[in-house]
Amino acid sequence: MTPVPAADNGACRGEWVTLTLNHAEITMHPRFFSSQPIDTPFVELEGPEQHHLVHALRLREGAWVTLFDNSGWEFEAEVTELRRNVVRLKIVARHEVDRELPFALSLGVALPKGERQQWLVEKAVELGVTQLVPLMTERGVAQPRDKSLQRLRRWVIAAAKQCGRNRLMHVANPNTVEEFFHRAENNSILVAHPCADAVSVREAVDQLATDGNPIFLAVGPEGGFTDRELSLAHDAHRCLVNLGARVLRIETAAIFLVASVVYART
Ligand code: SAH
């Protein structure tokens, strides 16, 4: 693999070079997540990241990789030492590269089960969702517990590694519908609900303010939102959205809504 190029705009920080490159100039190496902030010239990877590097990708000393630590920076590093259960890497350069949406996008969703949940998390990360809030709804079946939240967070890391995001989608603790609407404060919130007085998705995204204010989206459980939950959503900032004549699965509805907002606002 090719080493990081020396660039004229590089400013030396200790042993690192800081580069400002455009997306096309960045060499993509296999990506790994460091759960520790990267602020020293050497870092170590353990656990699933070490396993991925050594056992899945079979990288060896001298290999070049890209690291990110959720700070928004991206680091070029060289594998210097493979020890039992630990990989040691030397940071060679860091890049300022922003792959985030120009606004914060929060998705409140009554999570589907099993593989559909994983699919939803993966696609939400790829499309740039900033925060996922599992919704506890009156008709919801399974409520996510600590263990399943940990699993969701692992899927977020895997998806961020794959799609090049340097910030992780935040997985919030579960909220009731009321708490989620409260969390949205005065920002726009689109609530997916198939009913006669809902507006079309096109109308809904056209009405969104064009500034960089945060946007909140809510998608209900298989049984739909209850009237009581919807009554909590009737106010100036909330808009009921119809996603078409067909009843969509939770994850289809969520990704359709996210993609429509991303399309309209970027
Ligand atoms: N049985 C429910 C549908 C549940 S689908 C009913 O008829 O109301 C699961 C969730 O996906 C819904 O709560 C809603 O948020 C969203 N959804 C699915 N299809 C939709 C559509 N055509 N329009 C708007 N929202 C939809």
Give dist(CA 155, CA 122) in Å, integer: 7
Residue 233: the pLDDT is 77
Which of 193, 217, 238, 257, when mutated, tests ligand 1's pocket best, judged by the most ligand atoms within 8 Å of its CB?
193
Rounded distance between C-alpha atoms, residue 120 and residue 217, angstroms: 14
**Beta-strand relationship, 86-96 and 73-83:** antiparallel
* Residue 258 vs residue 27, higher pLDDT: 258
Q: 5-19, 129-143, 171-185, 243-257: lowest mean pLDDT where? A: 5-19
34 backbone dihedrals φ, ψ, rounded to 5°:
-100, 120
Using an 8 Å Cβ cutoff, are 37 and 69 in contact? Answer: yes
> What is the CATH class of 105-265?
alpha beta
**Which residue has better confidence, 3 or 90?**
90
pTM above 0.75? Answer: yes
Cα–ligand 1 centroid distance for 110 (angstroms): 11
Q: Over 50: is that where the pLDDT of 7 sits?
A: no
Helices (DSSP H) in the chain: which residue ranges? Answer: 47-51, 114-127, 146-163, 177-184, 201-207, 227-231, 250-265
Q: What is the distance between the alpha carbons of residues 187 and 213, in angstroms, rounded to a whole number?
A: 7
pLDDT at 142: 66
Mean pLDDT is lowest, of 44-48, 75-79, 148-152, for: 148-152
* Partner residues linked to 190 by β-bridges: 217, 239
Percent of the chain with pLDDT over 70: 89
Please indicate whether residue 235 or residue 56 has the higher confidence score (pLDDT): 56
The structural domains of the chain, with segments of one domain joined by +, span 11-96, 105-265
Look-up of token digits 């993966």: 122
Tell me how far apart the alpha carbons of residues 258 and 150 are, in angstroms, rounded to a whole number: 23
Tell me if 157 sits within 8 A of 33, measured CB to CB. yes
Tell which one of 141, 247, 256, 260 to mutate to probe ligand 1, the residue whose CB is within 8 A of the most ligand atoms: 247
193 lines ligand 1 (CB under 6 A): yes
Q: What is d(CA 262, CA 99) in angstroms, rounded to the nearest whole number?
A: 13
Residue 11 confidence (pLDDT): 39
Q: What is the mean pLDDT of the chain?
A: 89
DSSP annotation of 185 reads T
Residues 176-208: tens digit of each pLDDT? 999 999 999 889 999 999 998 899 999 999 988
- Calculate mean pLDDT across residues 221-237: 87
The owner of tokens 């709804």 is: 137
DSSP 3-state of 59 = coil
CATH of domain 11-96: 2.40.240.20
User: Rounded to whole angstroms, how far apart are CA atoms 120 and 256?
Assistant: 11
Report which of 145, 146, 236, 133 is spatially closest to residue 176, judged by C-alpha positions. Answer: 133
**Does ligand 1 have an atom closer than 6 angstroms to the CB of 195?**
no
Ligand 1 pocket check for 139: Cβ under 6 Å: no
Q: Which pLDDT score, from 0 to 100, does residue 27 have? A: 60
Ligand 1 site, residue 52, Cβ cutoff 6 A: no
Instruction: Judge whether residue 1 has pLDDT over 50.
Output: no
**Nearest CA, atom 3, ligand 1:** 224
> For 142-176, how does the pLDDT look when each residue is reduced to its tens digit (9 = 90+)?
677 888 899 999 999 999 999 999 999 999 999 99
Query: Residue 96 pLDDT more than 90?
Result: no
Mean pLDDT for the stretch of residues 15-41: 77
- The candidate with the shortest Cα–Cα distance to 241, out of 186, 202, 185, 211, is 202
